[in-house]
Structure 1
Amino acid sequence: MATNPDPSLPNRNTIYLARSGQGKSQAVKQNPDIPKQGARVLVFDPNYDHKAIRYFTRRAFAHAVLRAVRSGRGFRLAYSPAFQDEEEHEYFCKLVWAVLDGRKITYVIDEELTGSGTRAGAAAPEHMRLLNQGRKFGLRYHGVAQKPEETPKTVLNACEVAVIGSVLGDTSIKIGKRYGIPAPAIADCQPLQFWRFDPANHREPEQFQLKYQKN
């Protein structure tokens, strides 16, 4: 299980919210908060959106993660199960929890959240534990969802940072109120255009534009 808690570690968990086709995965890939090399990175990646050493079965992924952790070096490993559902996602979260270490930051990229379950309230148990307790064990979580209204509140509440692209209708109003961004400014975002809410570093949300980058 997770070891060496350090309560002084900051909350840098980040949620990415935008409708399909707006470039959420690009926002993750280009986020400077996630080191390109030398870091411990674990990815739940059912649609193969990220460059990583990829595994398709629980057994192979678990063995690879344990070998990588024991090596003491950085790694970037992805789990891409044949079927994305809550059970597979819970397995991933449980494995991540098992290797967290408060002396070493572990970056977790959690793609397509709304495909991993139907809970809009509390997250599933392993996912909830990871989000609620992971920070002090070195977790830096990056969760990606295209339907904010179907994203567990546990995720939204655990993420101090938000990257917001275009969402429409009532959803843009709700998200705008939560992060202090006018709803029309959210709805009018173009592909690869986002707002960043990061109260630890900026007093107000800031808009930015990305350019598409290949892996």
Structure 2
Amino acid sequence: MTRAKRPAKRQDPSLPNENILIVGASGSGKSAFLRETVDFKQRRIIAWDPEEDYPLPRVRSLEAFLKLAKKSGFGPIRCALTVAPTEENFEQFSAIAFALAHAAAPMTIIADEIADVTRVSKASFHWGQLCRKVRKYGGRLCAITQRPQEADKTIMNQVEYTWCGALKTTASAKYMAAEMGITLEKLQSIQNIHRKQVQYWIRKGTDAATMETIKF
């Protein structure tokens, strides 16, 4: 049996948009939701993970991450990068992540607490490229933040799904109520019952947002 050849083109415009923005304060259920929706044992998954939150093999330098990426090419790679959360480091992570993406080799990319490493204005070059193009290059981008009003706006326009759990500040709640198309009162009606369940709002595209529950 001959092995099927990988398409020469890295991109496929027909691929669906699975990108998601996940917003919520600490304890709002972000990690629980990720565990329900992301297979951390899949062949190709990488994470920007300064706080070491994700169950993946870990490297602690960009040099080591780049070396691993070059060795992998478009093949298997499972890795979390833990380095100082600076804009420069995140930009390099984004460039490497995009270089790894291929339409014939699906990959999940997790970017944790993007408000620490992006600006409210237009996204930096490599992060912006990743946000805008990763879908047709076979990537699923999961961007996460506790402070959505402080993160760049490029990602807001490139996700198909927006997830919002409980928020601590009124500024964050007002911002996300507008993004979700619901009232501030509805957004703040979320109840988290410690160790039993968490509630969250989720919106697909321009559809109406719905409230859902994760039970433990």
CA contact (8 A) 2:148 2:175 kept: no
Offset, 1:170? 4.0
1:151 aligned onto 2:159: no
Which stretches in structure 2 are left out of the alignment for 5+ residues? 1-8, 193-197
Q: Which residue of 1 aligns with 2:177?
A: 176
CA distance in 2, matches of 1:151, 1:190: 25
1:78 aligned onto 2:84: no
CA contact (8 A) 1:39 1:107 kept: no
CA distance in 1, matches of 2:26, 2:185: 18
Offset, 1:13? 0.6
CA distance in 2, matches of 1:195, 1:164: 5
Higher alpha-carbon deviation: 93-102 or 181-190: 181-190
Q: Which residue of 1 aligns with 2:90?
A: 89
Q: 1:42 aligns with which of 34, 40, 46?
A: 46
Q: Deviations over 1:15-37 (max 9, x none)?
A: 00112332323322222xx3343
Offset, 1:211? 4.3
Letter in 1 for 2:31: S
CA distance in 2, matches of 1:188, 1:76: 38
Offset, 1:172? 2.1
Letter in 1 for 2:181: G
Which stretches in structure 1 are left out of the alignment for 5+ residues? none
Moved over 4 A (4+): none
Alignment of 1:118-197 (within 5 A): 119-167=119-167, 168-191=169-192, 192-197=198-203
Offset, 1:98? 1.0
Q: Deviations over 1:37-89 (max 9, x none)?
A: 3331010000011000000011111122232345x34x3211001x2110110
Gap change, CA 1:20 and 1:35, over 3 Å in 2 = closer
CA contact (8 A) 1:172 1:184 kept: no
Letter in 1 for 2:163: V
CA distance in 1, matches of 2:48, 2:120: 19
Q: Which residue of 1 aligns with 2:4?
A: none
TM-score (structure 2 length as normaliser)? 0.85
Structure possessing the higher radius of gyration over alpha carbons = 2
CA distance in 1, matches of 2:147, 2:41: 31
CA distance in 2, matches of 1:125, 1:110: 16
Aligned length: 203
CA contact (8 A) 1:65 1:77 kept: no
1:106 aligned onto 2:111: no
1:66 aligned onto 2:101: no
Give me the identity figure in percent: 25
Q: Deviations over 1:80-130 (max 9, x none)?
A: 01x21101100100001111111121110000111113x112111110011
1:204 aligned onto 2:205: no
Gap change, CA 1:211 and 1:175, over 3 Å in 2 = same
Q: Deviations over 1:159-208 (max 9, x none)?
A: 110110122424323322222223222223234321111248xx432222
CA distance in 1, matches of 2:29, 2:200: 9
Letter in 1 for 2:126: E
